[in-house]
Structure 1
């Protein structure tokens, strides 16, 4: 055992008591903390991945209203499920949740299993989520190590391990297990989450009000700004698109359903075509004068290949950018009016009126494009 971990049992007990006393007095009032129901814990923790608490609260409340039990989640219609998740991003998370819910119904009689091995066997549940469910719902002494916890412990023990590396989690797992409460593991984990979110923040931590400052090596040595150690994230790969907002004579807009696998699977967008950076730059500078823009529309709507004259009005409405975890989309948003009937489109496309958009599941980039469209209509 390293020197930093060689705390006496008395010191560990004091540390746990100081942290838990602070948590019981200062814990955040959050809807998923109204009970220790494992389903509520599970849904909240999946939603909170890469999403701020204030954003999650209305999503969580609506999700629990629409799918109040694991069985109802397992049997949910996919369109309704994706609609409930619309705006949170990372849609594989909710698909994995439904897959896991079906496993729970089939294998565990519709109830979340109460041992960590079975919890971790469920699709989409990793060590962090499993630790949260196990500790909060079943009082299992399992760490729930996220970015907040790693930040707290890196400062607490001056750990210089790069938190961006997957192997580093084992280091923090060892430290947390050695110091966590065995009698109140759920509250202990939530206390660390709240501490990292409200006091031990990434920049300008409020050390003077921290309940565990007397145990913190970084605080004692005035080194809090040096921790945690994290290598710079690789820049997201840029990708370039032209999106056509196609409106027919009946006033309906063309939407296109994305493939059933890959990014934004089964979601709806305006027709989009990937282009090179050179094409993107050229089109953004002089869109109305570039003949290839009409060709792009024709390629997206192959049934119009011989009807290019049906493209009447063309207008560059704006530019949308959206960053995913590993790529950044740059989208030229172009409006085209077509002289075609509303029932003429490809199999994966539909003509939809603006007031019907709420019935379709839109990813964030599409929502941004709709905002641009509405703004142009109000001008």
Structure 2
């Protein structure tokens, strides 16, 4: 509801509150999201109308760094629901391949069978998940829904070095065994293997032995964390540092020295402090505690810095593409449900 005498005029603070989070000394302000149509309708905020053209115009995506292990990009002009959906999909719905079934023939080491199987299941493998089908409940293991690997290590006195007391068993000792000629041909160029060959599985003393076979299956993280393809999938809001008053002289030097992330610097010509690397800000609040009237620390609500770090089973750039495709499928499914409801009248 508009204030008396202000009907039809938007409040001057509404644009700031709608897309800025203020990090005050006592805590964050204006944390709620107002990215939906009608959020400020009662305040006569005329810009508070959804338009698909405006949405497409203000939405942008820019990759900041790309490598097989890690992708960092910035996403602008969207509500927090979009990056949050991407994050959840990356963690729990993008498929990978991991050990699901373990058949232990011999294990005389100190690690119990169930603990050994658990450790094997958590080892990430380099396997294209699109090359396998999901194995349905009670379905037999075949070359179309599984990969077979073996592990056979025996410790003897002769296998130990001069100063060794135990034999380490690493992920590199796991060997792939094709289940059919077609599977052997399909994976000949890029055979299944552990992402990190030096992952320690267990240690054996002389006379101890491990012999087992295991089957890798396709799955998703919401079934078990071993199928989650990411180490981390996180996002943060873009920092914005506003100088309400000029800071010069010794105060400017103090400001530069108190920031642990080196965000601030001093202009050569004017001698005024300014935010040189605002993206380095971790919201430690040291600056606003020292200069509460001069500096205001904000976060842009519709500007996200997103980081995806892969476990190595699937390259990080491909993970992003797969997450986008899953999100599109969800949106299309939701639209079909709405259309069906409209047609049926329910």
Shared fold (TM-score greater than 0.5)? no
Please tell me whether Structure 1 or Structure 2 has the larger radius of gyration of its CA atoms: 2
TM normalised by structure 2 equals 0.20
Which gives a bigger RCO, structure 1 or 2 (Cα 8 Å, sep 6+)?
Answer: 2
| TM-score of the superposed pair, with normalisation by structure 1 | 0.19
- Give 1 or 2: higher strand fraction: 2
